[in-house]
Amino acid sequence: MGLRCGIVGLPNVGKSTLFNALSNAKAESANYPFCTIEPNVGVITVPDERLQILEALVNPKRVLPTIIEFVDIAGLVKGASKGEGLGNKFLANIREVDAIIHVVRCFDDPNIVHVAGGVDPVFDKDVIDTELQIKDLESVDKKLAKAERSAKSGDAQAKKEVVALQRFKEALEAGQNARAVSATPEELEAVADLQLLTIKPVIYVANVDEASITTSNAHTAALQAHVAQEGAEVVLVSAAIESQIAEMEDPEEKEMFLAEYGLTESGLNRLIRASYSLLNLITYFTAGVQEVRAWTIHKGDKAPAAAGVIHSDFEKGFIRAEVIKLADYQEYKTEVKIKEAGKMAVEGKEYVVQDGDIMHFRFNV
């Protein structure tokens, strides 16, 4: 499964700079709004040191990590829900992503203009939220009107939809995001076809200056306090630092550079980890002489579903899964010795795959 995250925010908050640093896709970055007219898509590999461990043990012909697609969606402005700026097109782009990376400016720089005239991360965050909420409310209202007509004719399913839709309508009218509604599975099903913008999970990226990357600042403190009730994560990233890291090819040079700022890893790694956690994702591996490969699945997925990520036939004809733990692979070095030590588990259809499992599937179709 591919993970697709949309990077949103007001113009000139550092979205495209961050996108370039993360993906090296070289989206145009300029000191004026709407320099990104089409959504730029960058595909990046997910760093995972377990792949390097397996590569050293197996010595495969190739190693394939998992990937994340980052979509740089052009800057939204107040009124985007009504078509201001290039609003309608950009809002449509957001519907296509799995999660939202909301970049908020948390640095002062008189040389970089701000569309609202001053740096205020809380205001910026609320502008984006409001525009997305207005668009969602339009979608809910349209479906609600149709459901109410059907309900009046005695349609039992329509009556249930009306109740669910009214819950989301009330929340949106109160200035809340759809994800704030404690909805039942049935209620979520009632709005599933609407692809609500504010129901998507979100990570807030506080784009800070280099001096604030480890110490934070007043802007980030205000943002963290403002989103605390959402339970959302705020990741501190300096797009300027990430841009410099992206140009470095020597791992040791990167490590030394990060150490100068008191960092042990890049903002990219922290953002990827936060994205996986947000979407409840884990990784399992397949390992053989042809390739060592990482696969992304949802936490809680059982073995047949995990097999289906490789190919649908694997899931349809699933017989069993042979599972090795990485620690055992490191201790015994080869599959033969792992089997001899009784450390290869044979699991059936009810096995819940664990993060880091090394799996081989047996199937028949």
Annotated binding site for ATP: 12-17
Q: What DSSP state is assigned to residue 365?
A: -
Cβ-based neighbours of 359, under 8 Å, separated by 6 or more: 284, 285, 286, 303, 306, 307, 321, 322, 323, 324, 353
3-class secondary structure, 123: helix
Burial of 107 from C-beta contacts in 10 A (0-12 / 13-18 / 19+) = buried
Q: For residue 307, give Cα distances in angstroms to 1, 11, 294.
A: 11, 42, 12
Cβ-based neighbours of 266, under 8 Å, separated by 6 or more: 242, 245, 254, 258
Find residue 68's DSSP bridge partners. Answer: 3, 44
Sheet holding 40-45, edge to edge: 40-45, 67-72, 3-8, 99-105, 202-207, 234-237
Cβ distance 207 to 125 under 8 Å?
no
Number of helices (H), then strands (E), in the chain: 14, 12
User: Tokens 């841009």 appear where?
Assistant: 243
Binding residues: 12-17
